[in-house]
């Protein structure tokens, strides 16, 4: 019976578990999936589940070291995201933006993870944007930051023939959320790290801000239910596989112990010493004795 630690399976299950945990933290409005959160959680879950499904590192040392190095790299990427998380929102000099909801009114540079721009799922958000100079033939985009990577959700352009330096409007939150849900089948909720860019012939503006969209409930909605279900299934699989690995290691140790017992079992009878060769004197005495005496047996005295 051979012991079967499974560090590679542990790293895969740890990766899936980390993704589900990050998504839950995001959807429940705890933290956004920034670089620090995403890679930090993945490094921890991959390492822990790998240990659980290895149990005997000495048996698979090379594979375990490979997974450990991967987790170390992820942890390094996570640490590199600390400055971005601490910095909070921002906006370029010479540019101004503000949003107002029924709950809050903020500019991008006054938002942070701990204090995001708050709104409700049925809100109307009035926004304004201004610049100190005129931007013509500009291209603009808005997106969200996921693990340090920009994900664009809107883009547009304008020649700005009217030479406007300010713009404003009102956004229907419920309508926007319905459009996203219809297109991708997901219900948006949680804290979002939003970015915006505007590039023109005369320059441009860059901004980032934190926005919180409240969840319908921890156990409400297809997204949340799917995430909770995935979390339960993954934990169940990890526990089952941990039992399988432990059983294989225990059986292998038992077989090895049995083999040692067979090889080094109770000793057999001690070897007998070879009979001593008769001396030359005894041989000559036997040869000189009469045949009758050589065959005669001496009776025992009673």
Pairing type for strands 203-213 and 190-200 reads antiparallel
- Tell me which residue of 46, 43, 74 sits closest to 234, measured CA to CA: 46
Cα–Cα distance measured from residue 242 to residue 55, given in angstroms and rounded to the nearest whole number:
9
Kindly indicate the confidence band of residue 85, based on its pLDDT and cuts at 50, 70 and 90. confident
How many CA atoms are closer than 13 Å to the CA of 108, on its beta-carbon side? Answer: 23
Q: Which fold has domain 88-213?
A: Immunoglobulin-like (2.60.40)
| Contact (CB, 8 A) for 115 and 126 | no
Q: Flag whether pLDDT at 186 surpasses 80.
A: no
- Higher per-residue pLDDT: 287 or 227: 227
What is the pLDDT averaged over residues 116-132?
92
Q: Flag whether pLDDT at 263 surpasses 70.
A: no
Kindly indicate the confidence band of residue 267, based on its pLDDT and cuts at 50, 70 and 90. low
- Tell me which residue of 91, 97, 160 sits closest to 128, measured CA to CA: 97
| Contact (CB, 8 A) for 22 and 41 | yes
Question: Average model confidence (pLDDT) for the chain?
Answer: 84
Predicted pLDDT at 195: 92
Kindly indicate the confidence band of residue 281, based on its pLDDT and cuts at 50, 70 and 90. low
Cα–Cα distance measured from residue 103 to residue 119, given in angstroms and rounded to the nearest whole number:
6
Beta strands in 82-186 (DSSP E): 90-91, 95-100, 105-106, 117-118, 124-131, 138-146, 149-158, 166-172
The domains of the chain are located at 7-86+221-250, 88-213
| Phi and psi at residue 156, to the nearest 5° | -165, 170
Predicted pLDDT at 178: 86
Predicted pLDDT at 112: 92
pTM of the model: 0.76
Which of 14-28, 46-60, 84-98, 284-298 is the most confident on average? 14-28
Predicted pLDDT at 270: 54
Predicted pLDDT at 250: 86
What is the pLDDT averaged over residues 143-170?
87
| Contact (CB, 8 A) for 5 and 54 | yes
**Tell me, what DSSP letter sits at residue 3?**
-
Q: Flag whether pLDDT at 294 surpasses 70.
A: no
What is the pLDDT averaged over residues 50-56?
91
């Amino acid at each position: 019976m051979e012991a079967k630690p499974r560090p590679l399976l542990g790293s895969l299950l740890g990766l899936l578990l980390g993704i589900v945990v990050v998504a839950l933290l995001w959807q429940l409005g705890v933290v956004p999936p920034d670089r620090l959160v995403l890679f930090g959680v993945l490094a921890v879950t991959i390492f822990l589940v790998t240990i659980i499904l290895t149990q005997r590192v000495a048996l698979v040392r090379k594979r375990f070291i490979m997974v450990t190095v991967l987790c170390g790299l992820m942890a390094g990427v996570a640490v590199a995201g600390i400055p971005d998380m601490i910095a909070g929102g921002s906006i370029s000099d010479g540019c101004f933006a503000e949003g107002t909801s029924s709950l809050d009114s903020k500019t991008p540079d006054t938002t942070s993870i701990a204090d995001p721009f708050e709104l409700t799922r049925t809100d109307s958000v009035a926004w304004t944007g201004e610049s100190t100079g005129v931007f013509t033939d500009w291209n603009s985009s808005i997106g969200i930051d996921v693990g340090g990577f920009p994900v664009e959700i809107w883009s547009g352009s304008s020649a700005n023939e009217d030479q406007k330096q300010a713009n404003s409007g009102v956004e229907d939150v419920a309508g926007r959320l319905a459009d996203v849900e219809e297109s991708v089948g997901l219900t948006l909720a949680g804290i979002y790290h939003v970015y915006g860019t505007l590039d023109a012939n005369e320059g441009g503006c860059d901004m980032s801000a934190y926005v919180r969209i409240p969840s319908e409930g921890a156990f409400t909605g297809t997204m949340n239910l799917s995430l909770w279900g995935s979390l339960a299934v993954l934990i169940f699989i990890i526990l089952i596989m941990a039992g399988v690995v432990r059983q294989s290691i225990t059986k292998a140790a038992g077989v090895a112990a049995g083999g040692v017992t067979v090889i080094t079992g109770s000793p057999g009878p001690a070897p007998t010493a070879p009979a001593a060769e008769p001396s030359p004197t005894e041989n000559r005495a036997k040869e000189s004795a009469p045949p009758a005496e050589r065959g005669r047996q001496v009776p025992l005295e009673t």
